[in-house]
Every structure is written in C-alpha cells, then in structure tokens.
Amino acid sequence: MTLQGKHILVGISGGIAAYKIPELIRLLQKEGAEVRVTTTENALQFVTELTLRTLTGALVYSDVFAAVNQHATEHISLPDWADLMVIAPATANILGKMAHGIADDALTTTFAAMLKPVVIAPAMNDKMYINPATQDAMHLLSSQQHITMLDCATGYLACGSEGKGRMQEIDVIAEAVISALTPKTLLGKKVMITSGPTQEKLDPVRFISNFSTGKQGRALAKEAARRGAEVTLISGSMSAQEMYETCMQTFPQMDIAILAAAVADFTPEEVAPEKIKKQPGQTEMILRLRKTPDIAASLGKIKRQDQTLIGFALETENEEFNALRKLEQKNLDMIVLNSLKDKGAGFGYDTNKVTFLTRDGHKKSLPLMSKEETASEIINCLS
C-alpha cells in the first residue's frame, strides 16, 4: 500500500476519457489513499456525480456557488487537505486555463491554490494536441517544479481516428502519482538489477530453467525508479553466460547492483543444432552439464570502493550460515536471505519474508510482506 495515509484530490475535466476515472479512483484507494474529487461542469456529462460520490464517500466539488454543499471555500480547503492533485483527463481547454492562471470554476480555482505536487494527464483529439496553443500550455505547466506532466499516448481516439491524444492508461497515471510522492533518495544514482530465471538452451526448442518469476526483481526496479534512480533491469530470456556478459559490461558504470536473478549454476555442455529426437526404444537420456560463471562473485571481484553490491540467497538449510558464507565469498555488501520454509514466501508468491545480513555484521529480519514492501525495505538500506 504505497499511498497509505495519503490524501489525493482527483480533478476531472470534460473529455470522454473521464469515463475511466472511477477506475483510477479505485486504484488509488487500493494503494491506501483517501480520495476526493473536483470536476468541471462538463466532466459531469461524462461521469456522474453519484458514481464519484459513492466511490469516494465524499461530496464532489463541482459548483463554486452551491451553498447547499457547503462548498463555499472548498477551493482553498481542498488544496490544504490534499497531498497531491491529479488532473485527468485534462482537456486542451483546461490546460490553457491552468497554464495562464485562469480560475473560473471549481477545478481551476482549486488548481490555482494547489502548490503541492500535481500530476496532469492530458487527453484530446490529435489535432487539438498538436495545436501550438496546447503545446505551449503543456510546456508552461511542465516547467513548474511541482507539476508532473504526462504526455498523451498514441492510438485509437474517441473521434474515430488514430493519433496522439489519448490519455495515458490509468495504471501509468497511478504510477506517476506514487512516484511524485516518493522521496527521491536515489536521485542521480545508477542502479542495475538482475531478475528472473535464466534459460539454458538444450536445442532450438528446449531449455533448462527454474521457477523464479522475476516479481521481486521487477518490484526492486520499480521502487528504485520511484526514488529517482536511473535503472537498468537485466532480465528476460537469456542464459547465465549472456547475463554474465551483460552484467560485466554494465556494472562499471553503476553505483549499485542488486542481483535478484535465479541464475542457473549449470548449463548443457553442448547445444544441439537441431531438435533432439528420441530414438526408438530409448528409455533414458544423459545430459552433461558444466558450471556457469558466478555473476555475483565476478562482480564482487571488480567492485570498486564507491560501488554497492547486493545479492540474494535462497536457502533450505543452515540458512544464515550459508548466506553469510556467500556474502563473504562473493564480496557482497549485503545479502537478502529468503527461506522457502516460510509459507507465502519465495517463488511465484506476491509476498516474501526476508532477513538482511550486511558486511558490517548487521542483521534485520522482516515479517511476511508484499514484494513491493520488501523492495522498499531493501532500497531503504541504500540511502
């Protein structure tokens, strides 16, 4: 729950993409946020006040003069209440107004008083998007420090044509909200993360692999990016040898490397050029494997004083002893130990239960938590 305890104000203007905003509200609430809504009058042509009020459990601020809603000074109190305002969709009209300080309705008056983080997700017809007036407004707004301006996406437009003008998908908008509220503790840092299983080829159609899903590594990459790091994620269908070569090339440019990949220890000695066929009567097949390079240990050897190297250890017995030995042997600064003994931890689960062991002798055991939260705890150790 990355938005736990946060107050998010959603501003909706009158574009067809407004029909997606109830889903955005849900997404923000699932992350723990309390959400309130302000709209333009036109927005309520696309999404009903009842829908928004039911979802948020709060009055929708859309009419500056509606005494019945006791909204008299909402344009001031809402920015005070909110930690962040997200305006989606932002029409060409509302962008123009916001860029030039025009405040003539509930949404724009609230925006004008909002000096905390703002995320804007524009949406319009492709011709309105390329109109210099719209482009100027977007540039003016994005030059303000507290504003994150998302660009429009390209694709199918409600008017029936294809082009640039779509609102970004709601998960992209939610991510921008989370990112805007995350302290930039890794700003300027270059972070490399290995993730997922390796694939050791047997022939053109088969490989040996493992059950790793790459969830923990992806969560780490996401969290590092949210903290402002420049992230290189090394993952995908590659062999241990290929991952080794990529890592050895990349690591010298990095400040930090986190090795969350489940790298194969052995690989077939030969890759058959054609599909291996079973022979009539054949009842067994013997594969000869050879050792792969240990990426962590190799990086440990070339690691500089100014670099940090973090590894993972998945152990089934003598867990701490084995993890500490790996920390030592691979010259890591920290090792994240996860045990398969813990229910809900490890391969395929969304949760993990880990213990941090550091080179300088510190130990921290965490309770069972989501892989996102685990990622956040690991990244906390870096700042």
Q: Write out the two tokens for 301.
A: 């050897």
Rounded Cα distance between 195 and 232, Å, is: 11
Task: Tell me the three state secondary structure of residue 177.
Answer: helix
Q: How far is the CB of 313 from ligand C5P (least distance, A)?
A: 5
Rounded to a whole number of angstroms, the minimum distance from the CB of residue 296 to ligand C5P is: 4
Figure out which of the listed residues 36, 218, 326, 353 binds ligand C5P, where binding follows CB under 6 A: 326
CA-to-CA separations, 273 to 71, 270, 280, 368, in angstroms, rounded: 74, 9, 21, 45
Residue 211 C-beta: closest distance to ligand C5P, Å: 14
Stretch that binds ligand C5P, among 39-47, 167-175, 288-296, 369-377 (CB under 6 A): 288-296
Q: Which of these ranges, 21-29, 57-65, 169-177, 260-268, lies near ligand C5P under the rule CB under 6 A?
A: 260-268
Is 152 in the active site? no
Structure tokens at 62: 């859309």
Cα–Cα nearest to 327, from 259, 261, 379: 259
Give, to the nearest 10 degrees, the angle between helix 132-142 and helix 92-99: 50
How many angstroms separate the Cα of 346 from the Cα of each of 162, 216, 326, 352?
43, 9, 19, 6
143 vs 272: CA distance, rounded Å: 57
Residues 227-256 that bind ligand C5P (CB under 6 A): 240
Residue closer to ligand C5P by CB (options 219, 296) is 296
Least CB distance from residue 198 to ligand C5P, whole Å?
8
Nearest C-alpha neighbor of 263 from the set 319, 194, 357, 327: 194
Report the site for ligand C5P in 262-281 (rule: CB under 6 A).
Answer: 263, 265
Among 196, 300, 311, 346, binds ligand C5P (CB under 6 A): 311
Q: Which residue has the tokens 């909204």?
A: 71
Query: What would the two tokens of residue 126 be?
Result: 């492709």
Residue 346 lies near ligand C5P (rule: CB under 6 A): no
Tokens of 358: 């550091």
Nearer to ligand C5P, 74 or 333 (CB): 333
Shortest CB 291 distance to ligand C5P, Å: 8
Residue 259 sits in the site that holds ligand C5P (CB under 6 A): yes
Whether 163 contacts 157, CB under 8 Å: yes
The answer to whether residues 214 and 371 touch, using CB atoms and an 8 Å cutoff, is no
Q: How far is the CB of 240 from ligand C5P (least distance, A)?
A: 5
Mention every residue, 6+ apart, whose C-beta is less than 8 A from residue 222. 175, 372, 375
137 contributes a contact to ligand C5P by CB under 6 A:
no
Find the binder of ligand C5P among 313, 337, 378, 382 (CB under 6 A): 313
As a whole number of angstroms, the distance between CA 352 and CA 367 comes to 8
Contact status: 12 vs ligand C5P (CB under 6 A)? no
191 near ligand C5P, judged by CB under 6 A:
no
Identify the H or E element spanning 216: helix 215-226
Which of 141/243 has CB closer to ligand C5P?
243
Q: Of 118 and 264, which CB lies nearer to ligand C5P in the complex structure? A: 264
Q: Nearest 5°: phi and psi at 355? A: -125, 135
Q: Does residue 141 bind ligand C5P (CB under 6 A)? A: no
- Judged by CB under 6 A, the stretch of 39-47, 66-74, 116-124, 290-298 that binds ligand C5P is 290-298
375 in contact with ligand C5P (CB under 6 A): no
Residue 179, SS3? helix
Per annotation, catalytic residue among 152, 159, 247, 381: 159
State the nearest-atom distance from the C-beta of 349 to ligand C5P, in Å.
18
Phi, psi of 45 (to 5 degrees): -80, -25
Binding flag, residue 90, ligand C5P (CB under 6 A)? no
* Structure tokens given for 267: 């690989």
- Whose Cβ is closer to ligand C5P: residue 20's or residue 215's? 215
| Count of residues that interact with ligand C5P, criterion CB under 6 A | 14
Instruction: Please report the sign of the dihedral spanned by the C-alpha atoms of residue 103, residue 106, residue 108, residue 111.
Output: positive
Tell me which residues are annotated as active site. Answer: 159
Residues that bind ligand C5P (CB under 6 A): 194, 240, 259, 261, 263, 265, 292, 294-296, 311-313, 326
